[in-house]
Every structure is written in structure tokens, then in C-alpha cells.
Amino acid sequence: MAIKMLRRIAEEVLGPGKAASIWARIDVVGDIAVIKNPLTGGLTLEDLRMVAEELLRRMPYIKSVWLAETPVTGAYKLRRFRHLAGEDRSTTLYKEHGCTFKVDIRKVFVTPRLNYEHIRIARLVKPGEVVVNMFAGAGLFSIIIACKSRPARVYSIDINRDAYELMKHNISLNRLEGIVVPIHGDAARVIEEDLTGVADRVLMPLPDLALDYMGYALKALRGRGMIHVYLHVKANRGEDPVRIGWMEVKGRGLPLRMVYGRIVRRVGPRMYQVVLDLEAMRDG
């Protein structure tokens, strides 16, 4: 519904040609719309401002529109933003699967495009499980798991202090104190020092560190357990991105078996984000 509306608005304002390079790049997070556009396809800032004004007019629940000027970069996976129209504010309340999250698009990575993954993983968690989320951001996976399933505990780690503060806020907003445990720090260090051999399930939603930190995910498990790892893989036409991802993991020679895998989304020309659900074969 919203996607159709975004497309219609972009086409009406810019014409079908220019609109093609923009409408699928608009995300709505709470009451903020983000246009992810490195000003390609002949688009100017003025074009984007016109689209932004029209979004505000036609979709009244949108209060603020921002241009993401860069892709996500750096360890914290943040973008550089420029305000385009509406209220000059980058914090919002974002709802997913009945949970509410305070986010600041300039301070923490957040995307509605992981929506399905959040609930898919939550539904796999069995009552009483201990989960370690190595790269938790504002706590979306962790909190949705705690809301939808009945884990004993979800240790929720992030290295970005702002993400950690927002995660703490979101844990109390959703009344999950004592279930979701926020931890500020580097996931590798935290696991080495405090979370070795505690988990039934580990989440690794950060493709940049996925392969290098796989050994730490195994360390966090208490014997057999599941690891959900997100990877970026390059695949040419006719190649299966999931298989390519699994071959990369397999090449590390770790005691893992792939139970399931899927393409989460396309992230560039011939580049895909995939998730692999891996079973650790080691007995603890």
C-alpha cells in the first residue's frame, strides 16, 4: 500500500523516468521518511525537495523527510543525512510486530527492510532459550524475540554507545527488563569475558564482521545450538547467493551445518544480503 503510494507520488512529481531511480529507495521509519539517493538518474536536490513536500502533503503521518546522502558506513553502520522537509528532527517512535522502538536515524542503524527477518527469527526461538545478539543496534531483534517468544534471556550487545542507550530505553519501553540484557561493547570481547558457553542461539546481523566473528559465535554457544548469520555475497546471473554464502562459511572449516538459507534483499548490482541458519555440530 505505502509502496504504491510512494511510487505514485514520485511519478506525479518527477515523471516516470526520473521517478524510477527514487521511489523504491524511500523508507518510512515511524513518522520519518528517508530517501536513500546518491543523487543519480539526473535528480537534483530540488527534485528531492519537491518529492519530500508532496510526501508530507499526501501522507499526513509522515512529519519529517530526510535525504540519506551516503550508504551506511563505518563500524556503527550509519549514513550522513540532510534534512529535506517537515520537522527538523531525526528521532521517532518506530513500531514493528507490536513492539515500539525509539530510534534516531542519525545515531543508530535502523531499517524497515529487516521486518520479516525480525519475526522469522523470533518464531524460531523456543521457550526458555538463552539468546546472544552480537550486533543489536537499537534492540529490534532482541526485543521482538522477547515479545513474541519466551526466552529466558536475550543478551544484546552493541559497540555504539548511542545504540546501547536507545536499546536500554527500548527495553523499558517494552517492559522487558531482566529478559533483554543490554551490553555496551565489542561482541568478541564481551563473549570472551562474560558470555562463553551460555547461549542456545546466536544472532549475527552484521555482514561486515560475520565471517571474522563466527568463532566467537561458536564460543557463545553451550554445545549444540543455532547461529543466524547475515552475509553480503556477490552472485552473477544463474548463481545462487545462498549457496555462495554457505561456501564462504564452509571454507572456514568450522563445525557447522546449514539448516536453511534465504536471500534477505538485494543490496547492489549482483550483491545480495543472505541469511544462513546454521547448526553447530559441537557437543558442549
Ligand X SMILES: C[S@@+](CC[C@H](N)C(=O)[O-])C[C@H]1O[C@@H](n2cnc3c(N)ncnc32)[C@H](O)[C@@H]1O
Q: Enumerate binding residues for ligand X (CB under 6 A).
A: 75-77, 109-110, 114, 134-137, 140-141, 157-160, 163, 186-187, 205-206, 209
Residues 6+ apart with CB under 8 A from 262: 242, 274, 275
Other Cβ atoms less than 10 A from the Cβ of 50: the count is 16
Other Cβ atoms less than 10 A from the Cβ of 222: the count is 14
Instruction: Give the shortest CB-14-to-ligand X separation in angstroms.
Output: 30
d(CA 211, CA 244): 13
Query: Between residues 23 and 135, which has the closer beta carbon with respect to ligand X?
Result: 135
The length of the chain, given as a count of residues: 284
Q: Which amino acid is at 212?
A: D
Instruction: Give the shortest CB-186-to-ligand X separation in angstroms.
Output: 4
Query: Between residues 105 and 110, which has the closer beta carbon with respect to ligand X?
Result: 110
Query: Between residues 14 and 28, which has the closer beta carbon with respect to ligand X?
Result: 28
Nearest to 231 by CA among 196, 197, 185, 263: 263
Query: Between residues 86 and 205, which has the closer beta carbon with respect to ligand X?
Result: 205
Instruction: Give the shortest CB-42-to-ligand X separation in angstroms.
Output: 31
d(CA 177, CA 21): 43
Query: Between residues 54 and 129, which has the closer beta carbon with respect to ligand X?
Result: 129
Instruction: Give the shortest CB-190-to-ligand X separation in angstroms.
Output: 8
What cell was used for 122?
523470533
Main-chain dihedrals φ then ψ at residue 205, nearest 5 degrees: -85, 55
Nearest to 142 by CA among 106, 178, 107, 113: 178
Q: Which amino acid is at 137?
A: G
Query: Between residues 158 and 165, which has the closer beta carbon with respect to ligand X?
Result: 158
Query: Between residues 84 and 278, which has the closer beta carbon with respect to ligand X?
Result: 278
Instruction: Give the shortest CB-181-to-ligand X separation in angstroms.
Output: 14
Instruction: Give the shortest CB-138-to-ligand X separation in angstroms.
Output: 6
d(CA 232, CA 278): 16
Instruction: Give the shortest CB-71-to-ligand X separation in angstroms.
Output: 12
Q: Strand, coil or helix: what is 23? A: helix
* Residues 168 and 182: beta-carbon distance below 8 Å: yes
